[in-house]
Amino acid sequence: MKKGGILHPDMNKLISQTGHTDWIVVTDAGLPIPENVNTRIDLALKEGTPGFLETLDAVLEDLIVEKIILAEEIKSISPKMNEEILRRFPGIPVEYLPHVEFKQRTKQARGLIRTGEFTPYANVILVAGVAY
């Protein structure tokens, strides 16, 4: 049995197979998941479960991130969520895109992890970094 950390086998596999500059998307409950993405992990159980930030924090325990991409709309529609996301990435470059373009970009992801989050625009593209 695994000692701790992420217990979900598909999430462990996705993170361990992610290489430098690959993308993982952590999403709210409403973001459409593109059909062509290799790994689609839907954790959404009910509204708020699991939460976006809780899931993001678990991923960040195992993934090195060199850049994040967010929807421009999060700044005005969900500013507290925007602040919470940015707080987790001090010194990391942030790119904002219109939500329509953000959704198009998710098609390039190695995998998507859907949460039960109902906060609008609580989505982030994590660009994987390297440990050296």
Residue 2 lies in a domain: no
Q: Domain residues for 52?
A: 22-128
- CATH number, residue 103: 3.40.1650.10
C-alpha–C-alpha distance, residues 123 and 15, integer Å = 17
Within a domain: 84 = yes
The answer to whether residue 9 is domain-embedded is no
Q: What is the pTM of this model?
A: 0.96
pLDDT tens across 79-115, in order? 999 999 999 999 999 999 999 999 999 999 999 999 9
32 domain-assigned: yes
- The residue written with tokens 């790994």 in the block is 39
Can you say which residues are annotated as belonging to the binding site for substrate? 28, 99, 121-123
Active site residues: 20
Q: Does 48 fall in a domain?
A: yes
Q: How confident is the model at residue 55 (pLDDT cuts 50, 70, 90)?
A: very high
Residue 67 lies in a domain: yes
Q: What's the structural domain count of the chain? A: 1
Residue 49: C-alpha distances to residues 10, 42, 45, 71, 73 (Å): 18, 11, 6, 22, 23
Residue 7 resides in a domain: no
Q: Does residue 55 lie within any of the structural domains? A: yes
Annotated binding residues, written as ranges, equal: 28, 99, 121-123
